[in-house]
Chain A
C-alpha cells in the first residue's frame, strides 16, 4: 500500500488529469453556476487548467512542489473571478509545502492542509457556507485520517475523493453565505455549489492519478 509517492511526474499527471476532467465537465459546471452565479465557472476553470497543463508539460523541476506552484501561478493569471485566486492560492500553498523531490501520504496530507488554509484565509468562508470548502474540508479530513492510520497515497486519495463528492452533494440544501450565490439569499437553496463540484473533480483526478501509478507493476 505504501508503494506510491508523489513525484514531479505524478504531480504533472495530476494537473493534466484535472484539466481533462474540467474539459469533460465544463458545461456541467457552467450549468450549475448559471443557477446561482453568473454562468462562467466551467469556462474559467477550463481556461485556467488548460493553461496550467500546458505550463507544466515540459517543466522538469527538482521538487514536486515546484510543479504545483507553477500550476497555482498559472491559475491566478488565467482563471479570473474568485476561482482564480482561490484555486491558484491553494495550489501555490500545496506546492510551497512540498519543497522536496517526492512526497509520501503524511507529507501530502500536510500540503493539502496548507492549501485549505490558503482558501479559508482568502475567501473567509467556513464549512456550511456553500463553497468549495464544503468539498475540500471533508476531503482533507478523510485523507488525513487515512494517512494517520498508515495508509498509502492511493487509499488516502480514494477516501478523499469519495468524501469530496459527498461534501459536494451536501451543498445542495445549504444557503450560500459567501460569494456571488450569497446575493440570492434563500433562493440559493436547492442548487449544488459549482465550486464544491470542481473541487470534487480535483480530488477524483488525484485518486485516479495515484491509483494508476499504484497499479503499474514496478512503479516506484
Chain B
C-alpha cells in the first residue's frame, strides 16, 4: 500500500481537519464527525443531511453548502456512519422545517439512518428519508437487498437541495428527491480494485487485461469479469443496461454524469463522455446538462460510472439554480 497518510486509524479525523482548514464555508464538528455549513440553516428552510462511508470524496462533505446539503456525516472508510452522528447532524441543522435524510441503499446505511430517524423523532425533529437506489448492475428482486445507491445521489442532493433553498416544504423536497431517484439509473465498470487504508491490500485481484463489470462504490467485486474492451464497447454495455431499465425516446432530455471512481484521469472520462454523447445523439436523446469528473469515488479505484437522469423541466430548472459547495459551484 502506497498512500499519503499518517496512520490508517487517523485518516478520517485528519481528513476532517483538512476539510475544515480548506473550506471556510464549512464547519466541522470533530467529535461527532459532522460537516455542516458554517452559516447554519436559515430558519424555516428544510435541512438536507446525507452521509455514508468515507472514501467517496467529494461525496458527501464536498456537497455541503448553499443550494445543496446542510450537513454530511462521514463514517469510517466504506463504513456507514453511526446513528449518533446522524442525530447530531440533524440537531445541528434543523431549521424548524424538518430534516431530509438522503440515504444510499446499502444495508449499513439504511439500518443506521433508520435508527437515527427514530432518535430524531424522539427529539421532536420531523424527518423524511429518500432512499437512492439507481444502480442497474444489481437486479431488483424480493430476494436481494435491492439496488445499490451510487451516482444518482449527486442528482438527488443537488435538485432536492435547490427546492429546499427555494422554500419547498419537507414533503415537497422529499417528493422531488424520490422523483429524481426514480428517473435516474447508473452503471459502473472497474479497471482496478481499490485499497482501503485499514486492509492495506487491493479488495480483489484483477489481471492487466480484465475489468470488473457492474461494480458498486465500495471496492467490492462486480457482477462479472470480462476482458478489457475499448471505451466505446464499455459505454455500450453501460447504456444498454441503463436504457433497458429506463427507456428513453427521441427528444427526451437528460442529465448525464460520467464519474471517475478515483483512479481514472480526466482525459479517459472525456473519452467516455464522448462515447455517451454520440450514442445518445444516435437515439435523438438530448443531454441537457452534464457532469464529467470525480464526484462519487471509490478511493483509488480506476474505472467509471455513467448515470443518466431523465429530467423534466422542474428538475432542469432546479439543476440550474445556484449552488456553492466545495465540489459543485455555479450561478453564484
Stretch from B74-82, B251-259, B260-268, B273-281 at the A interface: B74-82
- Most chain B CB neighbours (cut-off 10 Å) among A37, A43, A47, A179: A43
Cβ of A83 and Cβ of B108 under 8 Å apart? yes
Name the one of B78, B82, B201, B222 contacting A77, with C-beta atoms under 8 angstroms.
B82
Q: Are B198 and A39 in contact (CB under 8 A)?
A: yes
The one of B143, B199, B201, B220 in contact with A177, judged by C-beta atoms closer than 8 angstroms, is B143
Q: Are B79 and A77 in contact (CB under 8 A)?
A: no
Residues of A contacting B108 in the complex (Cβ-Cβ under 8 angstroms): 80-85, 180
Contacts of B291 in A (CB 8 A): none
A187 in contact with B196 (CB, 8 Å):
no
- The answer to whether B76 touches A123, judged by C-beta atoms less than 8 angstroms apart, is no
Q: Is A184 an interface residue (CB 8 A)?
A: yes
Query: A120 near B: Cβ within 8 Å?
Result: no
Q: How many angstroms between the C-alpha atoms of A187 and B203 in the bound complex? A: 14
Per-position binary interface string of chain B over residues 219-248, scored 1 when its CB falls under 8 Å from any chain A CB and 0 otherwise: 111111000000000000000000000000
Q: Smallest distance from the beta carbon of B73 to chain A beta carbons, Å? A: 11
Chain B residues with CB below 8 A from A39, complex form: 78, 196, 198-199, 203, 219
In contact, A182 and B201 (Cβ under 8 angstroms): no
Partner of A179, one of B77, B137, B145: B145
Look across to chain B and name the residue whose beta carbon is closest to the beta carbon of A178: B145
Whether the pair A38, B223 counts as a contact (CB closer than 8 A) is: no
A35 to B219, CA, bound (A): 10
CA distance A123 to B81 in the complex (A): 17
Q: Which A residues are within 8 Å of any B CB, using their own CB?
A: 30, 34-40, 43-44, 47, 76-86, 122-123, 177-185, 187
User: Cβ of A182: which chain B residues have Cβ within 8 Å of it?
Assistant: 138, 144-145
Q: Is B271 an interface residue (CB 8 A)?
A: no
| A-side interface mostly | helix
Chain B residues with CB below 8 A from A82, complex form: 80, 106-108, 111
How far apart are the CA atoms of A82 and B106 in the complex, in Å? 8
Point out the residues of chain B lying under 8 angstroms from A183, CB to CB.
137-138, 144-145, 148, 216, 220, 223
On B, residues with C-beta under 8 Å from A are 53, 75-84, 106-108, 111-112, 114-115, 137-139, 143-145, 148, 196, 198-199, 201, 203-204, 216, 218-224
New A-B contacts (15) at CB < 8 Å, excluding given A38-B218, A85-B112: A38-B78, A40-B77, A40-B78, A43-B198, A82-B106, A84-B82, A85-B115, A178-B144, A179-B145, A180-B106, A180-B216, A183-B137, A183-B144, A183-B148, A184-B222
- Can you list 25 pairs linking A and B with CB atoms under 8 Å apart? A36-B220, A38-B53, A38-B203, A39-B78, A39-B196, A39-B199, A40-B76, A40-B79, A40-B199, A44-B79, A76-B83, A80-B112, A81-B75, A82-B106, A82-B111, A85-B111, A85-B114, A177-B143, A178-B144, A180-B106, A180-B145, A182-B138, A182-B144, A183-B148, A187-B223
In the assembled complex, which residues on chain A have CB atoms less than 8 Å from the CB atom of B137? 183
Whether A184 lies near B111 (C-beta < 8 A) is no
Given contacts A38-B218, A183-B216, are A80 and B82 in contact (CB under 8 A)? yes
Q: For the complex, give the distance between the alpha carbons of A217 and B118 in Å.
A: 48
For A81, give its contact among B79, B83, B115 (CB under 8 Å): B79
Residues in A with CB closer than 8 Å to B75 are 80-81
Query: When the two chains form their complex, are residues B107 and A123 in contact, meaning their CB atoms are under 8 A apart?
Result: yes
CB pair A40–B111 under 8 Å, yes or no, is no
List A contacts of B143 (CB < 8 A): 177
In the complex the two chains form, is B220's CB within 8 Å of A76's CB?
Answer: no
Q: Give Cα A11 to B178, complex, Å.
A: 45
Contact A37 to B220, CB < 8 A, known contacts A43-B198, A179-B145:
yes
Contact partners of A84 in chain B: CB under 8 A: 80, 82, 108, 111-112
Complex: A47 Cα to B75 Cα, angstroms = 13
Q: How far is the CA of A76 from the CA of B82 in the complex (A)?
A: 7
Nearest residue (CB) in B for A27 is B199
Contact status A187-B221, CB under 8 Å: yes
Provided the pairs A38-B219, A82-B111, A85-B111 are in contact, do residues A30 and B82 lie with their beta carbons within 8 angstroms?
A: no
